[in-house]
Structure 1
Amino acid sequence: MVALVAATTSVVVTACQNDPDIDITKLTAETDPPEVLYNQGLANLNAGKTTEAARKFDAIDKQQPFSEYARKALVMKAFVNYRQGQTQDAINAATRYLNLYPESEDAAYAQYILGLAYSKQIPTVTQDQKPAFKTIEAMQAVVDKYPKSEYVEDAQAKIRFAKDQLAGKEMQVGRYYLERKEYLAAVTRFRTVVEQYSGTNQVEEALARLVESYFAMGITSEAQTAAAVLGHNYPDSQWYADSYKLLQSNGLEPRENGGSWISRAGKKILGV
């Protein structure tokens, strides 16, 4: 299955998009034996005829829904749906596969397809981020349940992307509150980024915004700590330069308070 998927992925991407998606196999009834339909499905898939490939795999499921070929066809249907951009159909097929065959040899791939489909649904940070949560859940299952599979590396990359989206959403809301001088609400959002999404590229700005928010509230110790942690992690950052300048405007400088939550979070960022 793995070799097949790798091969078909390349072919589908490079297939001529102007060719009509018609069956390249001989015209046979959909009551043909499942092995015949399956091979025809693969032939169409290799030729980039994804619609016809899906039709063949569907025919197997209708004809012999609990056969070995139906199992193979179901995971291929999930793949075809994903390649066609039909992400919800891919999710449905992959979920059904995992419910029916959780211990099969292709379960890791079905789980991976599930994560890919959710990842494709992730919208911009201005919208609801439920697909990002679903992506993390699905891809974390790949990492945890199938640690030796070839999908782990990309699953981890998709998790990082999804977490960055979630952190970006928190930053968007935090900046909204900061602009309206609702500092406590802003701090809550920026704190979430620093504590829960420490591995994302949003942390640098989040620390700087914490400096700004705490400084505006007059909680200078926390502002100084946030600046110190920012400087430890991103010494050449423009965000750190701006935070340092803000503190200096009031005769202060970065100074870490070891008892602050920001200090504890900073150790996590550094991997201490």
Structure 2
Amino acid sequence: MISLVVMTAGCSSFFSKDDGDIQGTAEKLYADAKEDMAAGGWLNAIKLLERVEGRAGGTLLAQQAQLDLAYANWKAGEKATALSVLDRFIKLNPSSPGLDYALYLRGLVNFNDNIGFLAALSNQKLSERDQQAARDAYQSFKQLVEQFPESRYTPDAKLRMDFTVNALADYEVHVARYYLRRGAYVAAANRAQQAITTYPQTPAIEEALYIMGRSYEKLGLAELRDDADRVLKLNFPKSRFLADGKVRGDDRAWWQLW
């Protein structure tokens, strides 16, 4: 009984101390959270922002705290939590003055422009990774551009959209190239066709046309091969594929270090 009383008292003291650490008005807690964010103290900032959101519910301060909470989670490496917070914000605050930033931040969280240290060592390209995050980023940026053409975040979102579209097109061609190397000519032609149809204005369609031509050639479909080659010559008269007939990347796969 004595031990239980001591333990209970200790726990009570601990929780009281914890509550005391985050006492204050919502405005004061928010100011403290911003100081933590400025210093890179993301975990402390997250704790404070969660408390601000609860105390200032229904106000613009609560909305701002929620956006900062998403940002802090992203910087702390909690991508899934950041996206969850942003999805909740976008759903519950369709008329918020911060909606454009929420869409922009959701795009940034998904924007896959860093393939990591190990991928850099192995010479893996962005186009060789799964592109679901890139697709999600594109959709967020697209929604921002369409709903808020005058937003301060729109110009950067447009640039990132262009980058993302090129990456997605490169990914389709990367898969088509993979199939071509392994003799899966029908799959290679279909994937190259998909790249051309979905991303017609990207540089990747040059190689996609070449892959289509070679795939049809291997399949004995001379008419389709000639059509693909004719379109390649018409749109890319100086294409290096016409000069050396080699599909890009034949020399070394991404996983070969030497």
Task: Quote the residue 2:9 is aligned against.
Answer: none
Deviation (angstroms), 1:122 = 8.4
Alignment of 1:183-198 (within 5 A): 183-198=185-200
Task: Report deviation, 1:103.
Answer: 1.0
| Residue among 125, 146, 149 paired with 2:148 | 146
- Asked if the contact 1:167–1:202 (Cα under 8 Å) also holds between the matched residues in 2, the reply is yes
1:104 CA displacement: 0.9
Q: Percent identity?
A: 28
Aligned to 2:168: 166
Query: 1:87: Cα distance to partner?
Result: 1.5
Alignment-mate amino acid for residue 80 of structure 1 = A
Deviations for 1:57-88, whole angstroms, at most 9, x for unmatched residues? Answer: 11112333333321110011112222333221
After TM superposition, list the pairs within 5 Å mapping 1:28-177 onto structure 2: 29-120=21-112, 124-177=126-179
Closer/same/farther in 2, CA of residues 29 and 177 from structure 1, 3 Å limit: closer
How many Å separate the matches in 1 of 2:241 and 2:178?
A: 18
- Deviation, 1:165, is 3.2
Q: 1:256 — aligned with what?
A: none
Q: Distance in 2 between matches of 1:172 and 1:96?
A: 35
Q: Aligned residue for 1:228?
A: 230
> Following the alignment from structure 1 to structure 2, what is the Cα–Cα distance between the partners of residues 161 and 89?
25
* CA shift for structure 1 position 172: 2.9
- CA 122–129 in structure 1, closer or farther in 2 if over 3 Å, else same: farther
Unmatched 5+ stretches in structure 1: 1-27, 245-272
Q: Which has the higher contact order (CA 8 A, sep 6+)?
A: 2
Q: 1:160 corresponds to which letter in structure 2?
A: D
Residues 118 and 134 of structure 1 are in contact (CA less than 8 Å); yes or no, is this contact kept in structure 2?
yes
Query: How many pairs are equivalent?
Result: 218
Kindly provide the CA deviation profile for residues 133-172 of structure 1, in whole angstroms up to 9, marking residues without a partner as x.
2112111111111111122222223223333333233223
Task: Indicate the larger mover: 109-118 or 208-217.
Answer: 208-217
Query: RMSD of the TM alignment (CA)?
Result: 2.6
CA deviation vs aligned residue, 1:101-135 (integer Å, no higher than 9, x gap): 11111100011111111124987545543222211
Q: Which residue pairs with 1:249 in the alignment?
A: none
Contact 1:125 1:172 in 2 (8 A): yes
